[in-house]
């Protein structure tokens, strides 16, 4: 039964997205997809913002993308999940150029479950805020 649910949560558009990417990116995207499904069997796949996205209980959980020379993966609750690359503008793990740039399966699956727990708790993703420049104070 779980196998049927798993197959139903796969979106053929994601298959096409992965197949249409550069050879280096295909195993990365495929591995990320498998890890998300392993950690969250009830996840649904879709395309959001023209990239593969994973949805949990109707809310965004994570997304992934591939470009000419790198891939990215990011959680919707980016600010709350610590990966060691929080300052990166390139998704949760920075520029991913090979599977070696990603955490091991156990770590990634734990992070997926942490993201699920944040969704279950009703947490709204925190936005990164840029420090505001001090306003000049005019002389009196």
pLDDT digits (tens, 9 = 90+) for 83-110: 555 454 556 678 899 999 999 999 999 9
Gap between the Cα atoms of 131 and 126, Å rounded: 15
Q: What is the DSSP letter of 132?
A: P
Q: Class of 2-120 per CATH? A: alpha beta
pTM reported for the whole predicted model: 0.77
- Give the residues across from 5 on adjacent strands: none
In angstroms, the first-to-last Cα distance of the chain is 75
pLDDT digits (tens, 9 = 90+) for 22-62: 999 999 999 999 999 999 999 999 999 999 999 999 999 99
Gap between the Cα atoms of 20 and 42, Å rounded: 26
Q: Checking phi first, is residue 43 left (phi over 0); if not, alpha (psi -120 to 50) or beta?
A: beta
Domain range annotation of the chain: 2-120
């Amino acid at each position: 039964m779980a196998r049927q649910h798993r197959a139903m949560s796969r979106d053929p558009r994601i298959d096409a997205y992965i197949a249409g990417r550069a050879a280096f990116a295909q195993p990365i995207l495929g591995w990320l997809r498998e890890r998300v499904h392993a950690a969250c069997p009830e996840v649904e796949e879709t395309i959001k913002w023209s990239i593969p996205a994973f949805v949990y209980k109707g809310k965004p959980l994570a997304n992934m993308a591939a470009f000419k020379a790198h891939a990215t993966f990011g959680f919707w609750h980016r600010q709350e999940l610590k990966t060691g690359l929080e300052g990166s503008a390139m998704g949760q793990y920075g520029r991913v150029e090979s599977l070696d740039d990603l955490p091991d399966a156990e770590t990634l699956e734990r992070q997926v479950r942490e993201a699920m727990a944040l969704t279950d708790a009703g947490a709204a993703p925190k936005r990164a805020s840029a420090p505001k420049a001090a306003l000049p104070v005019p002389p009196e």
